[in-house]
């Protein structure tokens, strides 16, 4: 078990090392990065917004219900929703969802290319496949995932507002006052650090799983599953590490 872990870790690091090379043609890499930005960013925007909206709504209702207005003032609902969203919900939940959607897509795409000998074809042409197939995805995620996370945070706060203000659980001024209270700009830094690290994880692990896939459809399915499971576990592990280090 431990040996297997280190075998995969070594191969994963090797794959990342292979990516660091001068591109055969910068323009082609740029084009591929743009394509990936579109796939990861625009392609995931709706699902990310929907999930953020509901997470914000449920959080706000739950918090408002728990506070009950007895000891802690109700405006704390806005404050807690904001901080919970920025520090934890937006980066972690968004990236867990992206690991499922984008991660499985990357593993399937690269794995399919491996099985259909398209990666061999690129190698024969003289293309550095690790660099061409993996690097643009990681770079795209580095830019796009933080953007998605920021949008998710914003939408979650709106979701919280829509859930508790129109329903009369708290007043608009209470919610907005809460949002404006005790704001610590450093929390935004934590959010973006998490987003960047998770972005690398949710693209590189699935790419590794797809790149080394063998056999047929069973193996491809297994690689897809591993991509999502290992990405999720790694995201949660690094969530803990970053939280520990930055708070």
Partner 1 sequence: MIRAVDIKKSFDDVEVLKGISTVFEKGKTNLIIGRSGAGKTVFLKLLVSLMSPTDGDIWYDDVNITTLNKRELIDLRKDIGMLFQGSALFDSMTVEENIRFPLDMFTKKTKKEKQDRVDEMIEVVNLEGSNNKYPGEISGGMQKRVGIARSIVLNPKYLFCDEPNSGLDPKTSLVIDELIQKITRENKITTIINTHDMNSVMEIGEKINLLHQGRLAWVGNKDEVLESDNELLQNFIFASPFLQRLRKRAMNNK
Q: Which is nearer to partner 1, 126 or 166 (CB)?
A: 126
Q: Does 127 bind partner 1 (CB under 8 A)?
A: yes
What are the residue ranges of helices labelled H in 116-170?
118-125, 129, 135-164
Give the whole-angstrom CA distance, residue 127 versus residue 1: 34
Shortest distance, CB of residue 113 to partner 1, whole angstroms?
A: 8
User: Of 51-59, 93-101, 124-132, 204-212, which part binds partner 1 (CB under 8 A)?
Assistant: 124-132
Q: Does 3 bind partner 1 (CB under 8 A)?
A: no
Q: Which is nearer to partner 1, 123 or 172 (CB)?
A: 123
Give the whole-angstrom CA distance, residue 137 versus residue 207: 9
Sequence-distant (6+) residues with CB within 8 A of 86 are: 153, 187, 188, 190, 191
Q: Which is nearer to partner 1, 27 or 166 (CB)?
A: 27
Give the whole-angstrom CA distance, residue 51 versus residue 238: 22
User: Of 49-57, 117-125, 162-170, 188-196, which part binds partner 1 (CB under 8 A)?
Assistant: 117-125
| Token pair belonging to 104 | 């499985």
Give the whole-angstrom CA distance, residue 193 versus residue 146: 8
Q: State which of positions 87-116 bind partner 1 (CB under 8 A).
A: 116
- Residues that contact partner 1, how many (by CB under 8 A): 15
Q: Which is nearer to partner 1, 15 or 242 (CB)?
A: 15
Q: Does 16 bind partner 1 (CB under 8 A)?
A: no
| Token pair belonging to 221 | 């399915």
Q: Does 172 bind partner 1 (CB under 8 A)?
A: no
Identify the residue among 9, 13, 28, 225 touching partner 1 (CB under 8 A).
Answer: 28
Yes or no: say if 73 and 182 are a contact pair by the CB < 8 Å rule. no
Shortest distance, CB of residue 119 to partner 1, whole angstroms?
A: 9
Yes or no: say if 223 and 210 are a contact pair by the CB < 8 Å rule. yes
Yes or no: say if 157 and 85 are a contact pair by the CB < 8 Å rule. yes
| Token pair belonging to 216 | 């047929």
Q: Does 25 bind partner 1 (CB under 8 A)?
A: yes
Shortest distance, CB of residue 126 to partner 1, whole angstroms?
A: 4
Give the whole-angstrom CA distance, residue 78 versus residue 83: 9
Identify the residue among 117, 173, 183, 214 touching partner 1 (CB under 8 A).
Answer: 117
| Token pair belonging to 62 | 């739950």
Identify the residue among 13, 30, 120, 167 touching partner 1 (CB under 8 A).
Answer: 120
Q: Residues in the site for partner 1, rule: CB under 8 A?
A: 24-25, 27-28, 116-118, 120-121, 123-128
């Amino acid at each position: 078990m431990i040996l297997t872990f280190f075998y995969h870790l070594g191969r994963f690091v090797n794959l990342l090392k292979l990516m660091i090379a001068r591109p055969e043609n910068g323009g082609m890499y740029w084009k591929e990065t743009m394509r990936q930005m579109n796939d990861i960013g625009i392609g995931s925007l709706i699902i990310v917004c929907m999930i953020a909206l509901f997470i914000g709504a449920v959080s706000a209702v739950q918090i408002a219900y728990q506070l009950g207005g007895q000891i802690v003032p109700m405006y704390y609902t806005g404050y807690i929703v904001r901080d919970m969203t920025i520090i934890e919900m937006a980066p972690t939940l968004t990236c867990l969802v992206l690991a499922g959607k984008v991660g499985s897509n990357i593993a399937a795409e690269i794995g399919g290319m491996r099985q259909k000998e398209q990666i061999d074809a690129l190698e024969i042409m003289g293309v550095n496949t690790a660099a061409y197939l993996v690097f643009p995805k990681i770079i795209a995620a580095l830019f796009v995932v933080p953007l998605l996370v920021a949008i998710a945070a914003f939408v979650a706060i709106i979701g919280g507002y829509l859930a508790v203000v129109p329903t009369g659980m708290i007043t608009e001024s209470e919610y907005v006052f809460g949002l404006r209270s005790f704001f610590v700009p450093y929390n935004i830094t934590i959010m973006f650090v998490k987003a960047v690290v998770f972005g690398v994880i949710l693209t590189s692990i699935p790419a590794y799983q797809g790149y080394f896939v063998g056999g047929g459809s069973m193996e491809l399915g297994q690689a897809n599953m591993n991509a999502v499971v290992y990405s999720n576990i790694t995201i949660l592990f690094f969530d803990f590490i970053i939280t520990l280090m930055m708070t």
